[in-house]
């Protein structure tokens, strides 16, 4: 796979540990080992990184904007302390029943990030931990990679993702995916 001009990441389950009960406070946000360093490697390679993340806890009233911003600020600080940088963050704050156009598996968040980064779909790569991420990338015309650090059944997620993209690659985590991506382009 050629080096992308931009990398799009899901947040929960890719950068930080996820929970079936949602990440609702800054104290619950915990980086997956190696994820922050992987973002720093992408930054060092000149590849802009954006987040594309459903955050239905907002729409469901499980957290307020202030808590959401505090979680985001903690993540940004951790990324910067590791030597990385986040270029854009696209979040869907809606509950599933709101039927918005930005909630993955629809491509709205990915299209927003592509526009913000001034990158064509064919020049970007999405890394996610769920079939929703892979479906959204596919709908936007963006290549995708699966990481197996989410809270669901990793093998079942991989099998469903292979139906969407028969050539999808799956890696243990963001760090290993980024290492393979960068190593293959040296």
Q: Decide: 181 and 47 in contact? Cβ < 8 Å.
A: no
Residue 159's alpha-carbon distances to 130, 153, 166, in angstroms, are: 11, 10, 9
Spans of the chain, pLDDT less than 70: 1, 185-186
Residue 115: per-residue pLDDT: 98
Report, in angstroms and rounded to the nearest whole number, the Rg of the chain calculated over CA atoms.
15
- Boundaries of domain holding 125: 6-183
Q: Is there a domain that residue 156 lies in?
A: yes
Whether the CB-CB separation of 107 and 92 falls below 8 Å is answered with no
> Annotated catalytic sites, by residue?
10, 12
* pLDDT the model gives residue 5: 97
pTM score: 0.95
Name the strand (E) or helix (H) holding 102. Answer: none
Q: Hey, how many other C-beta atoms are within 10 angstroms of the C-beta on 160?
A: 16
1 within some domain: no
In a domain, 168, yes or no: yes
Query: How many folded domains does the chain comprise?
Result: 1
Examine residue 154 and state whether it is found in any structural domain, yes or no. Answer: yes
Task: Decide if 104 is inside a domain.
Answer: yes
Q: Which of 131, 93, 127, 98 is nearest to 110 (CA)?
A: 127
């Amino acid at each position: 796979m050629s080096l992308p001009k931009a990398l799009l990441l899901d947040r929960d389950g890719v950068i930080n540990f996820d929970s079936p009960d949602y990440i609702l406070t800054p104290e619950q946000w915990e980086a997956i080992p190696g994820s922050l360093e992987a973002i720093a490697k992408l930054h060092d390679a000149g590849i802009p990184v954006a987040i594309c993340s459903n955050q239905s806890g907002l729409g469901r009233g499980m957290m307020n904007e202030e808590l959401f911003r505090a979680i985001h600020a903690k993540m940004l600080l951790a990324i910067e302390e590791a030597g990385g940088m986040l270029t854009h963050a696209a979040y869907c704050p809606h509950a599933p029943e709101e039927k918005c156009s930005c909630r993955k598996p629809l491509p709205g968040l990915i299209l927003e990030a592509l526009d913000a980064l001034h990158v064509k779909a064919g020049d970007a790569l999405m890394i996610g931990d769920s079939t929703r991420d892979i479906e959204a990338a596919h709908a936007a015309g963006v290549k995708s990679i699966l990481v197996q650090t989410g809270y669901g059944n990793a093998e079942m997620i991989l099998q469903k993702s292979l139906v969407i993209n028969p050539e999808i690659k799956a890696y243990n985590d963001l760090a290993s995916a980024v290492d393979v991506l960068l190593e293959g382009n040296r």
